[in-house]
Amino acid sequence: MSTLPPLVELHLHLEGTLEPEFIMRAARKNGIDLPWASVEDLRSRYEFSDLQSFLDLYYANVSVLREREDFSQMVYEYLRRAQAGGVRHAEVSLDLQVHTSRGVPLEVAFGGVRDALDVAEERYGITTRLIISFLRDRPPAEAADLLRRLIVTGARFDGIGLDSAEADYPPALFTEVYEIARQHGLRRTAHAGEEGPAEYVRQALDLLHVERIDHGNRSLEDDALVQRLVRERVPLAVCPLSNVRLRVVDVIEEHPLVRMLEHGMQVSVHSDDPAYFGGYVDENLVAVRDALAITPAQEETLLRNAVDAAFVDADRRAELH
């Protein structure tokens, strides 16, 4: 019997790993007034009606990150949790614009994250890739400026993504940003088809030339698109617990993951914003295994799909397989 590949995390927002304890501690340290009375009070707010209701809380809480060490600490705590859950490779995304637009210097936010990622393999046995995600509900020109600034300053990162409020912010708006990334050899992913229509998945493929899609659930509404995703083996980084908490699906038992597998789509399971949605990647896998009666063969497919979708070279891919 073949051994299973290790866990590979491909869809994780670093700011979504801030646990309530971390947020309250950092607020106290940095003298920031948050409207929450306690860790319990903050945790009790983790009830969301849609993506925007989550984003409002997520963006409010990042205000506790001020110093370079805060950014490093966020990443160390994530890596520790990932290691405990069996993760061996993690491609993490950073919403850098959120920090620069509130006055945090680029070197502080980016540098702090980089400091921690640079020791991830040695300290935690986890290889990493860093994806800078742009916010689709902020001006595309701001994203392009930031990307150019990162490139000219020689910042070390591996790819770009597109996230935040999806409805009414089509991928087409970011064609130039993705073209800059492509010209500089950066890897490309984008959120599409979480709340936005299947058409946004098409745009991400045709206009942004993405190499994988974050979420992609609503592709299922378009049969021709499903056939294309299967034919072109486009990876979809799906986040089941996130989908339940943000009401993309009603209950985990109705998650379309098995349907996607049965179509032959290249789906894998990830966590999105684990501190907010009730589970890291290992817990997402347990949740679908239990609720969807995933077979051992299907679970192996999910794990192998993640390895195949990772932005790694052939040697690392072979090691992970």
Name the residues that contact ligand HPA, by CB under 6 A.
13, 16, 51, 58, 163-164, 191, 194, 242, 272-273
Please identify which of the residues 194, 195, 199, 319 carries the catalytic annotation.
194
Between CA 268 and CA 90 the distance in angstroms is 13
Using CB positions, name the residue nearest to ligand HPA.
163
194 catalytic per annotation: yes
- The minimum distance between CB 297 and ligand HPA, in angstroms, equals 29
- The minimum distance between CB 7 and ligand HPA, in angstroms, equals 19
Q: Which of 19, 91, 95, 272 binds Zn ion (CB under 5 A)?
A: 272
Choose among ligand HPA, Zn ion, none what residue 114 binds, the Cβ cut-off being 5 to 8 Å by kind.
Answer: none
Annotated binding site: 11, 13, 191, 272-273
Contact present, 145 and 177 (Cβ < 8 Å):
no
For residues 72 and 217, which CB has a smaller minimum distance to ligand HPA in the complex?
Answer: 217
Polymer length in residues for the chain? 321
Helix (H, G, I), strand (E, B) or coil at 22: helix
For residues 70 and 272, which CB has a smaller minimum distance to Zn ion in the complex?
Answer: 272
Contacts of 248 (CB under 8 A, 6+ apart): 194, 195, 215, 217, 242
Rule CB under 5 A: say whether 15 interacts with Zn ion: no
Rule CB under 5 A: say whether 95 interacts with Zn ion: no
For residues 70 and 194, which CB has a smaller minimum distance to ligand HPA in the complex?
Answer: 194
- The minimum distance between CB 207 and ligand HPA, in angstroms, equals 19
CA 210 → CA 114, 252, 273, distances in Å? 24, 28, 21
Contacts of 131 (CB under 8 A, 6+ apart): 91, 92, 93, 94, 157, 158, 159, 160, 161, 187, 189
Between CA 68 and CA 16 the distance in angstroms is 18
What is residue 191's DSSP assignment?
E
For residues 91 and 272, which CB has a smaller minimum distance to Zn ion in the complex?
Answer: 272
Task: Indicate which residues carry an active-site annotation.
Answer: 194
